[in-house]
Amino acid sequence: METTDEADLCFPQLFNSSCKKPMSTHSELMLLHIVLSSISVLTVVLNLLVIISVSHFRRLHTPTNILLLSLAVSDFLVGLLLMPGEIIRNTACWFLGDHLCALYNYMSFIVTSASVGNMVLISVDRYAAICVPMHYSSRVTERRVKFCVCLCWLCSVFFSSFIVKDDLNQPGLNNSCYGECVIVVSYISGIVDLVLSFVIPVTVIIVLYMRVFVVAVSQARAMRSHVTAITLQVSLTLTTRKSELKAARTLGVLIVVFLICFCPYYCVALADENSLNSSSAALVLYLFYFNSCLNPLIYALFYPWFRKAIKLIVTLQILQPGSSDTNIM
> For 276, phi and psi rounded to 5 degrees?
-95, 25
Domain span at residue 246?
42-325
Q: Please indicate, yes or no, if residue 21 is contained in any of the structural domains.
A: no
Does a structural domain hold residue 3? no
Q: How many CB atoms lie under 10 A from the CB of residue 278? A: 15
CA 193 to chain centre: 17
What's residue 274's pLDDT?
Answer: 47
CATH of the domain at 52: 1.20.1070.10
Give the other-Cβ count within 10 Å of 151's Cβ. 12
**How many CB atoms are located within 10 Å of the residue 139 CB?**
11
Which residue type sits at 256?
V
- pLDDT given at position 241: 55
pLDDT of amino acid 238: 47
In a domain, 16, yes or no: no
Structural domain tally of the chain?
A: 1
CA separation for the pair 297, 45 (Å, rounded): 11
Does some domain include residue 55?
yes
Q: What is the pLDDT of residue 24?
A: 62
For residues 201 and 90, give the distance between their C-alpha atoms in angstroms, rounded to a whole number: 29
Q: Is the Cα dihedral 172, 178, 183, 186 positive or negative?
A: negative
Do the domain assignments include residue 141?
yes
> How many helices (DSSP H) and strands (DSSP E) are in the chain?
13, 0
pLDDT at residue number 233: 46
Radius of gyration of the chain (CA): 23
Q: What is the pLDDT of residue 243?
A: 58
pLDDT by 10s per residue, the chain, length 329: 445 466 678 777 766 778 887 766 667 778 878 888 999 999 999 999 999 999 999 999 999 999 999 999 999 999 999 999 888 887 778 888 889 999 999 999 999 999 999 999 999 998 898 888 888 888 899 999 999 999 999 999 999 999 998 888 888 888 888 888 888 778 788 888 888 988 899 999 989 888 888 887 776 666 555 554 444 444 444 455 555 566 667 777 888 888 888 888 777 766 654 444 456 667 788 888 999 999 999 988 888 889 999 999 999 999 888 888 888 87
CA geometry: angle 54, 58, 62, nearest 5 deg? 65
- In whole angstroms, what is the distance from residue 96 CA to residue 303 CA? 40
Residue 97 maps to a domain: yes
Nearest Cα residue to 176 out of 58, 72, 275: 275
pLDDT of 322 reads 85
Answer yes or no: is 107 within a domain.
Answer: yes
How far CA 44 is from CA of 47, 169, 174, 294, in Å, comes to 6, 31, 31, 12
> Which amino acid, one-letter code, is at 17?
S
